Amino acid sequence: MESKDSVTIVVFSGELDKALAAFNIANTAASMGMKVSMFFTFWGLSVIQKGKSGRGKKDTLQYMMGKMNRSGASKLKLSKMNMMGMGGKSMKSLMKKYRMPSLEEMITLAREQGVEFVACTTSIALMGLEKGDFIDEVDRFAGASTYLGLASESNVNLFI
Amino acid sequence: MESKDSVTIVVFSGELDKALAAFNIANTAASMGMKVSMFFTFWGLSVIQKGKSGRGKKDTLQYMMGKMNRSGASKLKLSKMNMMGMGGKSMKSLMKKYRMPSLEEMITLAREQGVEFVACTTSIALMGLEKGDFIDEVDRFAGASTYLGLASESNVNLFI
Amino acid sequence: MESKDSVTIVVFSGELDKALAAFNIANTAASMGMKVSMFFTFWGLSVIQKGKSGRGKKDTLQYMMGKMNRSGASKLKLSKMNMMGMGGKSMKSLMKKYRMPSLEEMITLAREQGVEFVACTTSIALMGLEKGDFIDEVDRFAGASTYLGLASESNVNLFI
C-alpha cells in the first residue's frame, strides 16, 4: 500500500552540497513522522564509508576506483566552486557559524530518528569495496529491487 | 490528500540547462492544469536572484559564497561544455532562432500560470543572502518541512 | 489512474555512470513487472543516439551542439574522475570482470522487457538533431506534456 508519509532518496552523488540536501530532507521528513529510506549508490557510497576504507585493494583498477571514493563524510567536496577545497571549508565554517549541524551530525541524527540506510551491492562490487568499508549505521546491503520495493510504496521518491 | 495533478520540483542546480528543464516541466504541467510548486535551494537560488544581489556582504566567506551565486537567470552557465560561456550563448541563440522562450520569459510565464516559487531559508542564510536579493515573484521563504508538506500531497516530485 | 507499479525516468544527463544507474533501475523495475518509461532529454539524448549522428549540420552553432552530443552509448564519460577517459574504461573493464552487462546490453535488455523510450522533441530541435540520428529502439518523439501524462500516472518518478 502506498503511503504519502513515506520518502525514499537515492544518494547517487558524493558531493558535500548534495549530501547535505539529501540529509536535510531526510531528517526533516523523519522529524515530521514520515518513514525515510536512503539508498546509497555509486559516488554516494562515499558518504557512508569509513574514513580510510577502500585502500589496499588487489586490483589496480579497483584501487583507483576505491581511491576516488574513499573519503567518508568528513572529506566530501562541493559539486561546484570547490576551489581546491576552499569552497567546502567555507561552507562548513558558515554552517558552524549559523549553528547548523555538520554532515556527520546529520548522519547521526538520521539514524537516531530511524532513517534507514541501504548500501547498493552492485556499486560496492564495481568499486571494489567491501561491507567492512562502511560505517556501522548501514542497515542493509541490497540491490535495485529492494530500492524499487521501497519506492513503489512511497510517495516522495528523489534521485540526488 | 494526494493528487496526481500536482507537481513539486526542487531546483538545486544553478545551471542554465537544468533550469530550462525545470521550467519547461513546470510550465507544461501548469498549462495542463496541474498545481506546480518549485522549491529553490543551494545553487538553484541563483535562478531567482536579482541580477546584482549578494554583493557587499559583511563576511569574507559569505562574500565568496554570494559571489558564486550572484548571477540571476540571465547569467547562468551550462552544466557541461560551457566553454567560457560560448556553449551557453550558443544555446540561447538557438533558442531564439527556434522561437523558444528564454529562461527569463519562462520564469514570467510560470508566474502568470500560477506556479508557486518557494526559496529555501536555510540555504539563503548559508549563502549570506537576504530576502531582498530575490526577484519579486518569490511567493514564500520556507524550509524543508514546507517542501515535504507539498511533496507528500503531490504525485510527481523531482529533484533537479 | 495512478499505479504504484509504474516508473518514469527523465534521463537528462549524458554520463556513463548516470546512464548505468538509470538503466539498472529501469531494467530491475521491468523484471519486477512494473511498467517503465524513459524520457531522454538534453545531454541524455546522447545515450540513444547512433554512433555517428549529429554531424554535417548546416549551422555552426548546431554543429557545435551536435558535436558535444554525438557519441552514442559506447562513448559516454563518467560524471567525475573521468581522467581523459581512463575512469570510464576502468569502469567498463570492471563491469566485464564481474560479468555485469554493458550499457549497450542494458539498452537491448530494456527494449526486450518492454521499457518505453521517448525522445524529447524540444531538445532534439535545440541540439540540431533529427529523428534519423537515433537508434531504432526509440518508440516515440514527444514533448514534456507526454512525459507529464506518463508521470502523473506513475508512482516512482525520477530525474537523473
Contact A157 C160 (CB under 8 A): no
User: Global pTM?
Assistant: 0.88
Query: Which amino acid, residue A62?
Result: Q
Contact B61 A159 (CB under 8 A): no
Domain ranges of chain B: 3-159
Residue B56 DSSP one-character state: S
pLDDT tens sequence across C73-104: 777 777 765 655 656 777 787 788 878 889 99
Instruction: For residue C136, count other CB atoms closer than 10 A to its CB.
Output: 7
User: What is the spatial distance between Cα B160 and Cα B129, in angstroms, rounded to a whole number?
Assistant: 22
* DSSP string over C73-132: GGG---SS--GGGHHHHHHHHHHHHTTPPPHHHHHHHHHHTT-EEEEEHHHHHHTT--GG
Contact A21 B42 (CB under 8 A): yes
User: 3-state DSSP call for residue A38?
Assistant: strand
**CA-CA distances (angstroms) from residue A53 to A67, A128, A133, C93, C94?**
9, 11, 5, 22, 19
**CA-CA distances (angstroms) from residue A57 to A46, A70, A127, C11?**
16, 12, 10, 33
Q: Which three cell numbers stand for residue C1?
A: 489512474
CB C36 within 8 A of CB C7: yes
Residue A128: its chain C contacts at CB < 8 A? 94
Query: Which amino acid, residue B66?
Result: G
Inform me whether the pLDDT recorded for A4 exceeds 70: no
User: What is the spatial distance between Cα C10 and Cα C91, in angstroms, rounded to a whole number?
Assistant: 23
Query: Residues with Cβ < 8 Å from A17, sequence gap 6 or more?
Result: A78, A79, A91, B42, B43
CB C69 within 8 A of CB C49: yes
Per-residue pLDDT 10s for chain B (160 aa) are: 445 699 999 999 988 889 999 999 999 999 999 999 999 999 899 899 987 554 444 454 555 555 555 557 777 777 765 655 656 777 787 788 878 889 999 999 999 999 999 999 999 988 778 899 999 999 999 999 999 999 999 999 999 9
User: 3-state DSSP call for residue A101?
Assistant: coil
**Cα C99 from chain centroid?**
22
CA distance to partner chain B, nearest, from residue A57 (Å): 32
Interface test with C, best of A64, A130, A156 (most C CBs within 10 A): A64
Residue C148: its chain B contacts at CB < 8 A? 7, 25, 28-29, 32, 34, 156
Nearest chain B alpha carbon to A87: B65
Placement of cell 558552524 in the chain: A96
User: What is the spatial distance between Cα C11 and Cα B24, in angstroms, rounded to a whole number?
Assistant: 15
What's the whole-number average pLDDT of chain A? 84
* pLDDT at position B104: 92
Q: What is the rounded end-to-end Cα distance, in angstroms, of chain A?
A: 25
* pLDDT at position C54: 45
Which residue blocks in B75-133 are alpha helix, DSSP H? 86-97, 103-112, 121-126
Contact C68 B91 (CB under 8 A): no
Kindly report the CATH class assigned to A3-159: alpha beta
User: What is the spatial distance between Cα A151 and Cα B8, in angstroms, rounded to a whole number?
Assistant: 17
Instruction: For residue B106, count other CB atoms closer than 10 A to its CB.
Output: 21
User: What is the spatial distance between Cα B66 and Cα C49, in angstroms, rounded to a whole number?
Assistant: 39
Query: Which amino acid, residue C143?
Result: G
Q: What is the mean pLDDT of each successive set of 10 residues along chain C, which is 160 residues long?
A: 79 92 98 97 90 52 56 70 62 80 94 97 86 93 97 96
Main-chain phi, psi angles of C127, to 5 degrees: -90, 0
pLDDT tens sequence across B34-77: 999 999 999 899 899 987 554 444 454 555 555 555 557 777 77
ipTM: 0.85
User: What is the spatial distance between Cα B121 and Cα B124, in angstroms, rounded to a whole number?
Assistant: 5
Nearest chain A alpha carbon to B125: A98
What's the full length of chain C, in residues? 160
Contact A148 C17 (CB under 8 A): no
Contact B152 A4 (CB under 8 A): yes
Residue B102 DSSP one-character state: P
Maximum pairwise Cα distance, chain C:
47
CA distance to partner chain B, nearest, from residue A58 (Å): 34
Nearest chain C alpha carbon to B86: C61
Q: What is the rounded end-to-end Cα distance, in angstroms, of chain B?
A: 25
* DSSP H helix total and E strand total for chain B: 6, 5
Of C56, C47, C10, the C-alpha closest to C137 is C47
Query: Residues with Cβ < 8 Å from C105, sequence gap 6 or more?
Result: none
Maximum pairwise Cα distance, chain B:
47
User: What is the spatial distance between Cα B45 and Cα C45, in angstroms, rounded to a whole number?
Assistant: 27
pLDDT > 70 in chain B, percent:
79
CB A159 within 8 A of CB A12: yes
Nearest chain B alpha carbon to C120: B21
CB A88 within 8 A of CB A76: yes
* pLDDT at position A54: 46
Which of C43, C145, C152 faces B4 most closely, judged by CB atoms?
C152
Neighbors of chain B by Cβ distance (3+ pairs < 8 Å): A, C
